[in-house]
Structure 1
Amino acid sequence: MGKLDLSALKDQYQNGTIDMITVAGVDMQGKLFGKKVPVRYFLDDAVHGIHTCAINFIWDVSLKYAENYTFCNFDTGLHDIKVIPDISTLRTYPWIPKNAVVIGDIHNKDGSEVTIAPRNILKKQLAKAEALGYRAYAASEIEFHIFKETIDSAREKNFSNLQPLFSYPVDYSIYRLNVDDWFLGQLARYLEEAGIPVEALKGEWGNGQVELNVQYAEALEMADRTAIYKNGIKEIAALNNLMVTFMAKHDTEASGSSGHTHISLWDLQGNNVFYDANHPYKLSDTGRYFLGGMMALAPEFMLFYAPYINSYKRLANTGGAPNTQTWGEDNRTTAFRVDGQGKSCRIENRIPGSDANHYLVLAACLASGLYGIEHKIDIEAPTKGDASSAPGVKRLPANLAEAIQKLSNSKIARELLGDDVVDHYLTAAHNELNDYFLEVTDWERKKYFEFI
């Protein structure tokens, strides 16, 4: 069935096909939060919004909250916010029988927007693009690891020595895709039924690792799709006694999981404005300037591409990890890759991992790219060969502390995103770093326990 409008939802309710609906907001980490309500109540009342606690925007990925946020704390009374459904996101949720889901925008109780909410951050950049005569299209390309474990068994093993779905690399292997079709085929069919058109599934280099490509769409729709399918993939796996992780690097010896993001700008008449067959690299001035802005501000926006301690373990890896301030023509070792002709011409940002919040990734891409257009930031010649070993290349922040420093010192980021957004996400990053420094890790025990 896929996408629904209110009339279709009423019909499905009346014939008994759908009786529950999840009203969801999107938190700082890109995860869904909210409430499940009967369709009857949704149509009568919740269609105008549900109340949730603002604490959803002050806790970390494991729901540990901190009291050092300005937006919400005990002095604000851990106040309520409102999730107002965007009916254009209403769709079936086929892996949970008789269920639907709708994503909402986050508002304060006085009706004003919560400016630090990721969906609102992206919408602000999309509005700016439209005011300049552009529409942004995007596609997400997310990798993840699948394990023959349940949530309980993984916890009992302390998330170590887990059994992957397959125990060897299967990059592009058709054999493994068919052997594991009992799950992967189910996954693709469910997403298609939910109105999330799958472009391809492929095996990846890591044990138990798979990549999902979703068909491109307008940027907000793509971010919504990504939030829903990441949530859904974990649920579908759990319902099949499997476990999925979107960690950027789940084990020192394992392959990292990327969240490559493709983006292009189109004019309001439906023409791709990045492509120009008569210009160098077949990029128009607009395309070059957009890429120039993304490259120039990548160090300052790194926190939105790589938000966690673990994110940088993937980027530290050798063998083409996108850790340099470079671009290339169909070059997978550069941070930014230009590919495609005509309507398919696009810029691929290869920096984000699968752990990143896609709303924030796209917002950072747009903010920096539009800044490049406005200031005519041009690009140098593309990097040839392995970017990581190219002489004289600039390096991106190598860890979360460096990324925090870059964003903290960025006047441009504050100009483009707002002080409240920058300060809120810096607080989250500082909390992540401080928690890590207080934790005694397996690395420390292995290094010091016996020998000191």
Structure 2
Amino acid sequence: MTAYEQLRASVEAGTVEEVVVAVPDLQGRLQGSRLSAAYFLEEVARNGFGACVYLLASDVEMGTGPGYAIDAWKSGFGDFTLRPDAGTLRTALPWDDGTAMILADPVWPGPEAAPVEVAPRHILRTQLDRLAERGLTAFAGTELEFLLFLGSYRSAWESRYEGLSTGTAYNVDYSLQGLSEIEPVVRRIRREMGRAGLKLETARGECHAGQYEIVFRYAEAMTTCDNHVFFKNGAKQIAAQEGVALTFMPKFDSGEGNSCHVHLSLRGTDGTPVLADENAADGTGMSELMRHFVAGQLACLPDFALLMAPNINSYKRLQPGAFAPTGITWGRDNRTCPIRVVGAGASLRIEHRVPGGDANPYLAVAAAVAAGLHGVEHRLELPAPHETNALADTSVPRLPGTLTEALHHWERSEIAEKVFGQAVVGHYAQAARTELAAFEGAVTDWERMRGFERL
């Protein structure tokens, strides 16, 4: 039974009435519309659905303007066409009774239906196609952390996010106690995600009070990224229904930030693992391909940081003193390095520890794949692994420490322009400039506390 046949059967059985057609935006959020299931099956499944082009040229506040590769004002806020991807159809959203969801890829109107070059799914697909040309397939897993607060999103908004009560009273990292206040909510998230088709792997409390991590089973890279955005969207809806609020922002306060560690491995198109070599002369168990792939990560980290840490707040997490990477190095099972090589044999993989909870997974994984291919194509040599605390080693080259610095590297990167294209580089540079302009124009509580009386 095809995906659409399954959907039709659900509609006829009365279990599905509506279909949400969604597209991941620049921030990795799902934007879209609710359609009647009958209309979707009769028209949209075959012909697509129109949506305003500004959805892929807007900031967090949904503001748009000139400078993006898509100029919504200049084009009169016209539409592109969302083409549903049948492979992403979910006929059951346990937290949204009677609703199915499907992701869609935007294409430009016209007989050629050219893909929208700056769309996050297209950016990732382009890099996965480059792998496929080499007979390789990428598998990925993302480990998302979030903070849970007692009280609704509305009450948090109205309090300007001050004085919020964390879901646990203290650090519950790996703890099996102290979770009683949040367990009903996170249990519901775990179970309903499972019912929606995601495969739970692990779940546990984390370091910050109220912090929790749910990890789902790895899959082919695009599927993992689709699962990632689906999970974030659904988890927030479940939290809202339970009268609590959760955030994936990288750094809420001075405590531990929310990370999104990305695990990435490669296989041949026949499923054969290609990263391991138990007979490697250097004793690492890493194949020559993997050594070049990891070397590419290090070479591209400054230039591609913007795709992994896209916001002002991203760099509040990537600061000295926080348990997040600040240097450019790699290590074997060393969590103080941005690139951690972990596993053995068929499970040998890299863990990219730069992305935070705000990362757009399509862009982060695309950046890691592109960086690895750069290392492979140029046969870059891998330096010796870092065997001590890389966070305390000031001799290690540093990651960009601010969004401004990351933007500087991204805009001037010959590698980025070569592998992603000028339109993508310019589009996401504009997204960063928009974020910076919004921040620089804001007056913060810190400024008022510091200067209201004393300046």
TM-score by length of 1: 0.97
5+ residue gaps, structure 1: none
Correspondence for 1:37: 35
> Does residue 318 of the first structure (1) align with residue 317 of the second (2)?
no
- The correspondence of residues 6-405 of structure 1 with structure 2, limited to 5 A, is 6-48=4-46, 49-91=48-90, 92-110=92-110, 111-177=113-179, 180-251=182-253, 253-279=254-280, 280=282, 281-405=284-408
Q: For the residues of structure 1 that align with 2:105 and 2:131, how far apart are their CA atoms?
A: 19
Q: For the residues of structure 2 that align with 1:388 and 1:380, how far apart are their CA atoms?
A: 18
On the 8 A contact 1:177/1:202 being kept in 2, the answer is no
Q: CA RMSD in A?
A: 1.3
Q: For the residues of structure 2 that align with 1:76 and 1:180, how far apart are their CA atoms?
A: 47
Q: For the residues of structure 2 that align with 1:236 and 1:162, how far apart are their CA atoms?
A: 19
CA-CA distance at 1:444 after TM superposition: 0.9
CA-CA distance at 1:317 after TM superposition: 4.3
CA-CA distance at 1:67 after TM superposition: 3.1
The C-alpha deviation readout for 1:56-105, integer Å capped at 9, x for no partner, is: 11211122223332312322111101111100000121210111100011
Q: For the residues of structure 1 that align with 2:41 and 2:323, how far apart are their CA atoms?
A: 51
Q: For the residues of structure 2 that align with 1:66 and 1:318, how far apart are their CA atoms?
A: 37
Moved more, 239-248 or 382-391: 382-391
Match of 2:65, SS state, is coil
On the 8 A contact 2:135/2:269 being kept in 1, the answer is yes
CA-CA distance at 1:179 after TM superposition: 5.5
Moved more, 30-39 or 385-394: 385-394
On the 8 A contact 1:72/1:79 being kept in 2, the answer is no
The C-alpha deviation readout for 1:20-43, integer Å capped at 9, x for no partner, is: 110111100000011111111111
On the 8 A contact 1:274/1:346 being kept in 2, the answer is yes
Q: For the residues of structure 2 that align with 1:346 and 1:401, how far apart are their CA atoms?
A: 31
**Alpha-carbon distance change, 255 to 398 in structure 1, aligned in 2, over 3 angstroms:** same
Match of 1:324, SS state, is coil
Q: For the residues of structure 1 that align with 2:394 and 2:226, how far apart are their CA atoms?
A: 40
Q: For the residues of structure 1 that align with 2:247 and 2:63, how far apart are their CA atoms?
A: 19
**Alpha-carbon distance change, 4 to 450 in structure 1, aligned in 2, over 3 angstroms:** farther
Q: For the residues of structure 1 that align with 2:213 and 2:2, how far apart are their CA atoms?
A: 28
CA-CA distance at 1:287 after TM superposition: 0.6
CA-CA distance at 1:177 after TM superposition: 4.5
Q: For the residues of structure 1 that align with 2:244 and 2:278, how far apart are their CA atoms?
A: 47
Q: For the residues of structure 1 that align with 2:344 and 2:244, how far apart are their CA atoms?
A: 40
Which letter does structure 1 place at the counterpart of 2:313?
A: N
CA-CA distance at 1:4 after TM superposition: 7.4
The C-alpha deviation readout for 1:122-142, integer Å capped at 9, x for no partner, is: 000001100111000000001
Moved more, 63-72 or 81-90: 63-72
TM-score by length of 2: 0.97
Task: Choose which of 425, 429, 442 in structure 1 pairs with 2:445.
Answer: 442
Moved more, 19-28 or 176-185: 176-185
Identity %: 38
Which letter does structure 2 place at the counterpart of 1:102?
A: I
Match of 2:364, SS state, is helix
Q: For the residues of structure 2 that align with 1:319 and 1:428, how far apart are their CA atoms?
A: 26
On the 8 A contact 2:256/2:323 being kept in 1, the answer is no
On the 8 A contact 2:54/2:70 being kept in 1, the answer is no
Count residues in correspondence. 449
On the 8 A contact 1:106/1:114 being kept in 2, the answer is yes
Structure 1 consecutive aligned stretches of length 4 or more whose deviation exceeds 4 Å:
none
5+ residue gaps, structure 2: none
Which letter does structure 2 place at the counterpart of 1:273?
A: V
On the 8 A contact 1:299/1:397 being kept in 2, the answer is yes
Correspondence for 2:417: 414
On the 8 A contact 2:19/2:35 being kept in 1, the answer is yes
Match of 1:354, SS state, is coil
